[in-house]
């Protein structure tokens, strides 16, 4: 059905893209816009949203269109009236996330690369999770950080930690779970019926603990979320140790995207992890 918007207005909430709402008096769509060269980023996001929704475990906005012209790329999604996550939706999200993580495949990674923010996120097929996480998460981010001028002590700590990665998996072998991939509080909300929604994914198959670790990095999910998740699928007793490891990936990504104080946060996490490995 043809759509001719009669009104559009910008909306806030993201650091990466320009976001706006288009409407024609009857229908309304949410649109993300960026430079034309980032079309692959939007294409991967569209595939990620579709994969999340297809599980039936979680709600994700339906993709309407993705495309570009000479100047801009865009992603058009169904419009959902959302509000900050609170009870009982947070508990429902915990249950739904556990069901999402139960969706598995035989290998870690995904069928394509995508992005975390605008940072490239490689997702090649790998059957060894510690090797995947070492090479395609930490080593990748450390390499970008060095290219961005963050060398010295940060790189020294990083290389020491890379060598210690197997120490965190001596008695724990994760299965490849479908992950949201960027599950901070700004990427989850609820609708007017208190149903939880997820959006802005960085989908791949990995250790489910990495999604949980991200939910704790900036807060916003509440204790009922975690309790509901663990009622569905309890976490390993040593999760709290690997939580720092998985949060480090996102802290390094924030360093590469935004710079500033994130270097200090990354160093403190690495020092804590090295102390834990030395045991």
Cβ(233)–Cβ(124) under 8 Å?
A: no
Q: How distant, in Å, are the alpha carbons of 104, 219, 254 from that of 196?
A: 22, 16, 26
Q: Is 182 a catalytic residue?
A: yes
Report which of 183, 179, 202, 199 is spatially closest to residue 247, judged by C-alpha positions: 183
How far is residue 268's CA from residue 262's CA, in Å, rounded to a whole number? 10
Per DSSP bridges, beta strands 63-68 and 28-35 are unpaired
Q: Which of 128, 182, 200, 238 is catalytic?
A: 182
Angle between helices 140-147 and 152-164 (to 10 degrees): 170
Per DSSP bridges, beta strands 18-23 and 28-35 are antiparallel
Report which of 145, 96, 95 is spatially closest to residue 119, judged by C-alpha positions: 145
Q: Virtual CA dihedral for 261, 262, 268, 271, nearest 10 degrees?
A: -140
Q: Residue 103: enclosing H or E segment and its boundaries?
A: none
How far is residue 60's CA from residue 38's CA, in Å, rounded to a whole number? 21
Sign of torsion over alpha carbons 131, 133, 138, 141: positive
Sign of torsion over alpha carbons 133, 182, 248, 101: negative
* 263's tokens: 């270097």
What positions carry a catalytic annotation? 182
């Amino acid at each position: 059905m043809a759509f001719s918007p009669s009104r559009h207005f910008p909306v806030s909430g993201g650091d990466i893209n320009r976001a706006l709402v288009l409407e024609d008096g009857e229908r309304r769509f949410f649109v993300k816009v960026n430079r034309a060269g980032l079309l692959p980023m939007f294409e991967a996001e569209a595939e990620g949203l579709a994969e999340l929704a297809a599980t039936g475990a979680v709600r994700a906005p339906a993709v309407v269109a993705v495309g570009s012209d000479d100047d801009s790329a865009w992603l058009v999604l169904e419009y959902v009236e959302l509000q900050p996550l609170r009870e009982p939706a947070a508990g429902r999200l915990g249950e739904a996330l556990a069901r999402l993580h139960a969706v598995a495949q035989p290998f870690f990674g995904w069928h394509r690369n995508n992005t975390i923010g605008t940072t490239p996120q490689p997702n090649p097929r790998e059957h060894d999770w510690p090797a995947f996480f070492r090479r395609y998460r930490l080593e990748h981010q450390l390499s970008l950080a060095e290219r961005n001028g963050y060398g010295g002590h940060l790189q020294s700590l990083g290389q020491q930690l890379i060598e210690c990665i197997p120490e965190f998996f001596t008695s724990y072998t994760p299965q490849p779970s479908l992950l949201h991939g960027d599950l901070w509080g700004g990427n989850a909300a609820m609708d007017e019926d208190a149903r939880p929604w997820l959006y802005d994914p960085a989908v791949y198959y990995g250790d489910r603990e990495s999604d949980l670790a991200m939910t704790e990095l900036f807060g916003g999910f509440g204790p009922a979320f975690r309790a509901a998740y663990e009622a569905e699928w309890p976490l390993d007793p040593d999760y709290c140790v690997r939580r720092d490891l998985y949060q480090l990936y996102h802290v390094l990504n924030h360093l590469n995207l935004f710079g500033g104080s994130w270097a200090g946060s990354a160093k403190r996490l690495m020092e804590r992890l090295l102390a834990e490995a030395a045991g």
